[in-house]
Each structure stands twice: as C-alpha cells, then as structure tokens.
Amino acid sequence: MFEKRYRLNLVFNANKVYDRQVVEGIGEYLQAAQCDWDVYLEDDFRSRVEGLTHWEGDGIIADFDNPDVEAILKDSTIPTVAVGGSYAHKTDYPRLPYVATDNAALVKLAYDHLKQKGLTEFAFYGLPSTRYSRWAGERESAFVEQVRSDGYHPYVNLGLPTSAASWQTAQHDLETWLNSLPKPIGIVAVTDSRARHLLQACDHLNIMVPEEIAIIGIDNESMARYLNRTALSSVEQGSKEMGYAAAKMLHRMLLGYSVEDALVVVDPVGVEARQSSDYRALNDPYVIQAMHFIRHNACRGVKVAQVVDYVGLSRTNLETRFVEEIGCSMHEQLHMTKFYRACELVTSTNLAFDEIARTCGYPSVQYMYTVMRKNVGMTPREYRISSRLGKEQGGEF
C-alpha cells in the first residue's frame, strides 16, 4: 500500500547559490510527489567525497561539475542521477542519467540582452581554466562563438583566482583590462560573483556603468545583489527546475523504470534586468554625464540644479540637450528613477515601506503611496503581493 522509505544522499556544495537552488528543487519534488524519504545532506552543506564509496543508501543525486564526485560515482551501482552543466560535445557527458543547465542558452540570453540595448562591442569575464571550472569554459566558448557569428570581435579575460590574499592583485589586473577595452561595451560575466568584481573595478576607475560599460551576470543571486552601488542585471538559471527533474528521474529509477543515459537540459528562466545593463545609446557626452549622475543620486534627493552643477553647462542648454536625447525633462527622469528603484525594493525585498521611502528619497511614506497609486494603480503592499503571486504562478513546474 505504501511506497518503500528510500534513503537518498544529496552530494552538493550547498554553500553555493546554484547548488542550494538545485537542492530546493529536489525538496519541492519530494513534497509534490509526497515521497517519504530519508535525505542526507552534509550538516555544513559542503559535499564530501570520502564516504561516498561506502554509502549504503538507495539513491544519489550529485553535482557532477565537481570532477572528484564524478570520478567516484561514474560507475556507481547505486541508482544515481548526475546534475551539472551542459556540454557542446555529447561525448563529454557522463554515462549516467544527467540533468544539465544549458550553458549556451544562458550566455545567449545575456549576450542578446546587451545586443538589444544597441551595443556593438562585447566582452566576457570568466574564470581561469581548471578541472573544476569546465562549466565556465563551456560558457566562454559559447560566448566567443555567438559573438563571432554576428561579425563582432569577442574580448575575453579569464582573470585570476580570487582570495583574500590575491584580491588586490586580481582587481588591479582587472582594472588594467577594463581600461584597455573600447567604450561603450557590454560585458557578460560568467557568474554574479565575477560581475561584482567588474562593478567594483569600474567604480574605482570612475568608469560609468552602464553608460560606458554595461554588465550582466549569471545566477541572479539574491543574497548579494545589492552589495554594489549599482544593482546587477543577471540571467536566472532554471536551478530549481533542475533539482525537480533530477528527483523525478531518480524516483522513476527507484520504482524500476529504465532511464539509462537519459539527458535533460533545462532552459534558463530569463533575464532580471537591473541598472547595470540599462544602457541607452546616447550621443551627447553632456547628457551621458547627466544620466549617470541621475542614476546614482536620484534617491539621495538631488534636484535638477545639482545635475546642472555636476555637468557644468547652463540649465537651459543642458535641459534642451537632455530632452532631445532622452525624450523627457531632467526633473521627470529624476522622478522616474526614484520610482523604479522603489518598485524594485518593494517587489524584491521585505523592507518596511517607510524604510523604502527613505531609501528612495521620498519625503514621507504617504508621498510614496501617492506616487505608486498614480503610476501602477496600487499601494506598495498591493504591488508587493501582486508581484509575488505573479512570480509563483509563472514559476510552477
């Protein structure tokens, strides 16, 4: 009457955002399928390979981007589902049921996002090539192929490994590379972490983001998205969907169905566009300066007079240039920049609304309520609820 109580081992480094999301997807399948399984995951979330050869459970779902894990489990007699990155060559996949994130599709989404902004110069900031970064090499190759197929020249920098000891050297080398690039340019970073390095280097060099360099990462990592002054655009992987698919596949194996050599490649969810890639093809250098100042200071309560002082033109001259390029006044742009920032914080954080109002430079939370009712027809609370309901319904498997 009841299904056997299986013992499952999850071999992931769940200190990583991607791995945590895969594990979350596995949990969602267990809930949806009402699986009463015993699940083992290391207490400190780090995957350890020492005990894998002695595991006596019923099934394993493991991160095969880790070559040490793959080496031990590739010939496992226990039902095993591998999870990892996709490969351009089918022969690179392990001979096990495999669920992959589509590396080429991730890079294409990021690259197309930048290309649609009107950019014609493109670069890639990756990771040094090691046996642990095969997935990063796949993303680099996909980027180079896609850019060249469009007739553009791909600029590539793999950078240095970063640690507390090597941080300053790595950032110095990165700054040297950024200075050498043509401007404006769009950069695809292999991960959000590497994208944050770019943002910090641009800040040190006074390179305007996104006016001179537009940046997009991969992961859509919520934990660290606001560690830089400029909110990071990112491609969201279908990591939870991968975990769900892997658990479903293992379940079928445990029930005796054949899924040998099965391969499931999961599409990315999409691009979360934020300020770092909000590039507009502008010709007037004074308007470019004005837009950069507005993006970074609107929420500090600056007025048009301060924009004018920063650029160094007369108000009438700058206003005329601004309207011609942007299509609205500087006052309107200041207003909409604050409004878009408020909307982002309402939907992506749990901050209190009075805190959001202060952060966005509104004189009071009541004033922010009035602005949101006027622009979206909802109060901040209604807008937060509506946005999250929409994401939940859109993210069903």
Give the domain extent around 156: 103-235+272-277
Count of structural domains, the chain: 3
Residue 1 forms part of a structural domain: no
User: Are 95 and 109 contained in the same domain?
Assistant: no
Residue 21 forms part of a structural domain: yes
Residue 47 forms part of a structural domain: yes
User: Are 23 and 73 contained in the same domain?
Assistant: yes
User: Are 369 and 261 contained in the same domain?
Assistant: no
User: Are 193 and 125 contained in the same domain?
Assistant: yes
CA 194 from chain centre, in angstroms, equals 11
CA 165/CA 170 separation, integer angstroms: 10
CA 101/CA 17 separation, integer angstroms: 14
User: Are 336 and 212 contained in the same domain?
Assistant: no
CA 287/CA 294 separation, integer angstroms: 10
User: Are 163 and 195 contained in the same domain?
Assistant: yes
What phi, psi does 249 have (nearest 5°)? Answer: -65, -45
Residue 396 forms part of a structural domain: no
- Amino acid identity, position 161: P
Question: Which of 277, 302, 334 corresponds to the end of one domain?
Answer: 277
User: Are 301 and 259 contained in the same domain?
Assistant: no
Residue 2 forms part of a structural domain: no
Residue 223 forms part of a structural domain: yes
Entry pTM? 0.83
| 304 DSSP β-pair partners | none
User: Are 324 and 373 contained in the same domain?
Assistant: yes
Q: What is the pLDDT along the chain (397 residues), one digit of tens a residue?
A: 457 889 999 999 887 888 999 999 999 999 999 988 999 988 765 667 777 777 788 999 999 999 999 999 988 889 999 999 999 999 999 989 999 999 999 999 999 999 999 999 999 999 999 999 999 999 999 999 999 999 999 999 999 988 888 889 999 999 999 999 999 999 999 999 999 999 999 999 999 999 999 999 999 887 666 677 788 999 999 999 999 999 999 999 999 887 766 899 999 999 999 889 999 888 899 999 999 899 889 999 899 999 999 999 999 999 999 999 999 999 999 999 999 999 989 988 889 999 999 999 999 999 999 999 999 999 999 999 998 887 665 544 3
CB atoms within 10 A of CB 189: 28
The tokens of 196 are what? 């944050």
Residue 242 forms part of a structural domain: yes
CA 15/CA 9 separation, integer angstroms: 16
Pick the closest to residue 212 from 189, 178, 188 (CA basis): 178
H helices of the chain, in order, are: 17-32, 67-73, 103-115, 134-149, 167-180, 192-205, 239-254, 285-297, 304-311, 315-326, 330-348, 353-359, 365-376, 380-394
Residue 397 forms part of a structural domain: no
The CATH number of whichever domain residue 61 belongs to comes to 3.40.50.2300
User: Are 97 and 108 contained in the same domain?
Assistant: no
User: Are 68 and 212 contained in the same domain?
Assistant: no
CA 172/CA 104 separation, integer angstroms: 30
Q: Is the backbone peptide bond immediately before 184 cis, with ω within 30 degrees of 0?
A: yes
Q: In 3-state terms, what secondary structure has residue 81?
A: strand
The CATH number of whichever domain residue 380 belongs to comes to 1.10.10.60
User: Are 246 and 227 contained in the same domain?
Assistant: no
Angle between helix axes 285-297 and 304-311 (nearest 10 degrees) is 130
User: Are 24 and 83 contained in the same domain?
Assistant: yes
